Amino acid sequence: MLSTTARPWIEATLPVVLEHGEAITRHFYQRMLGQHPELKNLFNLSNQSQGEQAQALARAVYAYAAHMDQPQLIAPVLERIAHKHVSLGITPAQYTIVGRHLLASIGEVLGAAITVDIASAWDEVYWLMASELIAREARLYQERHWAVGGAWPELEVCDLHASSEDTLSLTLRAPDGRPLPDFIPGQYLSVALPLPELGLSQIRQYSLSNRPGEGVWRITVKRVRGEASKEGEPAGRPDGLVSTRLHEQIRVGDCLRVGLTAGDFQLRPGLQPVVMISAGVGITPMVSMLQHIAHSQPERPLCFAYAATSPAHYPLREEVESTLARLPHMRYQLWLEQGSQRCPGAVPGRMALDGPHDLGPWPADADFYLCGPLAFMQAQRRTLLSQGIERSRIHYEVFGPDLFGDLP
């Protein structure tokens, strides 16, 4: 708990820290990575160049400080961060480095406004949050029988195939043939790829797209293509660093360095109805959930709503539709921006859950799972909330730094 000495300082400076939060965390990344270039392997350089990582960290620290007295609000935020850290293999020692640079950055950005008392109050907040995270992460490592700081295994790519025009599915197995540990449908893993031309490696997360119990892990990766600069814009967007290499360079028999499976986006146990709502490559965790339900709980009621730009951009379509067809209590609706006339039953255009569709009224007591582009998820969640769905029943996964939550 925050000390009574620190509390008034935090309350007084929260607005100013929020206002300058992004500037502080931008400064922090430059400062820390300048002094610890080895950490560049751990942080997503593309997110940083666009400022997204800074926003995510700033929001997390601010949210923690602002809602420390409401653990029910802050717990899910910490849980999500802890899972991400475990997938990255973060160690307690790294919190010391981050803390030192973050607190120095607050002082350097806000200047003379930061007195010794204010600095020590923020130091206290940081370490309260860090201690909670370190404890949660220790539990997650322990559940996975993982020695903190241990080397990631190299897994062999045993199958590789295009699963749509712009996605590739890679199946990974242990080189010694032992089954890989199980995971919970909805979870992801981290892949680390060396980038020799940059003299570092980069880690990206990919949701598992197969079901647990198969002894192998499958991921489905969309190729992120760059864009030339448009008129009036200063710069274009480069091709995705990791996805491009996975598409262009990896072959069956190659090995990939892979972290632990993690993620708080998890199919809830039990037999209550499930509504899966996804778009684009956001379908990947849904395929894992769907396969698990078809294998272990075929009687479980399920609604599957999916939106793609065109039939050619629907990853794992044959597998999804043939699996859905086997389920007795299933409802399915596809939205297509282009080519809907070639797919009987598809609604043309973007997904609109308040428009016409074949999903019927939402089943009572259903859990809702969302995954797709940020704007897509925000729009669907707004509709669900306006239809009276309880906030706590809507679960989501963000394929990037978590800028989605209005929580807290």
Active site residues: 95, 137
Identity of the residue, 201 or 383, whose beta carbon is nearer to ligand FAD in the bound complex: 201
Q: Which stretch binds ligand FAD (CB under 6 A): 113-121, 126-134, 289-297, 392-400?
A: 392-400
Distances (CA, A) of 140 to 74, 96, 263, 385, 395: 18, 20, 10, 32, 20
Build a one-symbol-per-residue string for 199-228: x at contacts with ligand FAD by CB under 6 A, - elsewhere.
-----xxxx------------xxx-x-x--
What is the three-class DSSP state of 280?
A: helix
Q: In which order are the strands placed within the sheet that holds 394-397?
A: 347-348, 330-336, 302-308, 274-279, 367-371, 394-397
Backbone region of residue 232 per phi and psi (left: phi > 0; alpha: psi in -120 to 50; beta: other values): left
Three-state secondary structure call for residue 397: strand
User: Biggest alpha carbon distance in the chain?
Assistant: 67
CB of 398 to ligand FAD, least distance (A): 6
Whether residue 305 contacts residue 357, with contact meaning beta carbons closer than 8 Å, is answered with yes
Does position 241 interact with ligand FAD (CB under 6 A)? The reply is yes
String marking each residue 255-284 x if it binds ligand FAD according to CB under 6 A: --------x-----------------x--x
Part in contact with ligand FAD (CB under 6 A); list of ranges 16-24, 115-123, 241-249, 320-328: 241-249
The nearest distance, CB 221 to ligand FAD, in angstroms, is 4
159: which 2 tokens?
């199958």
Stretch that binds ligand FAD, among 54-62, 146-154, 232-240, 345-353 (CB under 6 A): 232-240
Q: Which residue is nearest to ligand FAD (CB)?
A: 240
List 13, 46, 94, 380, residue binding ligand FAD (CB under 6 A):
46
Residue 164 sits in the site that holds ligand FAD (CB under 6 A): no
Q: Does 21 bind ligand FAD (CB under 6 A)?
A: no
Q: How far apart are CA 139 and CA 131, in angstroms?
A: 13
Q: Which of residues 174-193 bind ligand FAD (CB under 6 A)?
A: 188
Burial class (CB in 10 A: 0-12, 13-18, 19+), 187: buried
CA distance 188 to 360: 31
Is residue 77 within the footprint of ligand FAD (CB under 6 A)?
Answer: no
- Per CB under 6 A, the list member of 82, 155, 242, 267 interacting with ligand FAD is 242
Q: How far apart are CA 188 and CA 135, in angstroms?
A: 21
List of residues contacting ligand FAD (CB under 6 A): 44, 46, 49-50, 188, 204-207, 220-222, 224, 226, 235, 237-238, 240-244, 263, 281, 284, 397, 399-400
